[in-house]
Amino acid sequence: MKLFDYPDAKQIIVCGDIHGDFNAMVFKLCIQYGCTDTLLVVAGDCGFGFDKPGYYEQLYNKVAKRLQNTNNWVVFVRGNHDDPAYFQEERIRHKRWRTVPDYSILSADGHQILCIGGATSIDRSQRQKQNARYHIKDVSSYWADEAPIFDESVLKSLPTKIDTVITHTAPSFCELNSHIGLESWAEWDDTLIDDVQRERETMDRIFNCLKEQGHPIEKWFYGHFHRSWSGVVDHTLFSMLDIMEFKELPTTL
Q: Measured in whole angstroms, how far is the alpha carbon of residue 140 from the centre of its chain?
A: 19
For the chain, what is the total number of helices (H) and then of strands (E)? 7, 13
90: left (phi over 0), alpha (psi -120 to 50) or beta: left
Banded pLDDT at 252 (limits 50, 70, 90)? low
Phi, psi angles (nearest 5°) of residue 139: -130, 140
- 253 pLDDT more than 60: no
Alpha helices (runs of H) in 19-84, residue ranges in sequence order: 22-27, 53-70
For the ranges 21-35, 128-142, 163-177, which has the lowest average pLDDT?
Answer: 128-142
Select 3-249's CATH number: 3.10.129.10, 2.40.50.100, 1.10.10.10, 3.60.21.10. Answer: 3.60.21.10
CB burial string 64-89: b at 16+ within 10 A, e below: eeebeebebbbbbbbbbbbbbbbbee
- 12 pLDDT more than 60: yes
pLDDT digits (tens, 9 = 90+) for 105-119: 999 999 999 999 999
CA distance 7 to 109: 7
CA 46, 50, 55, 57 dihedral sign is positive
CA distance 169 to 196: 10
- 219 pLDDT more than 70: yes
- 187 pLDDT more than 90: no
CA distance 83 to 60: 18
**CA distances (Å), 76 to each of 83, 89, 102, 203, 214, in order?**
12, 13, 11, 19, 27
- CA-based angle 168:236:101, to the nearest 5? 30
pTM, to two decimals: 0.96
Average pLDDT over residues 208-212: 98
CA distance 21 to 47: 8
Cis peptide, bond prior to residue 176, ω within 30 of zero: yes
- 177 pLDDT more than 90: no
DSSP labels, 72-109: -EEEE---TTS-THHHHTT--EETTEEE--TTEEEEET
Domain definitions of the chain by residue range: 3-249
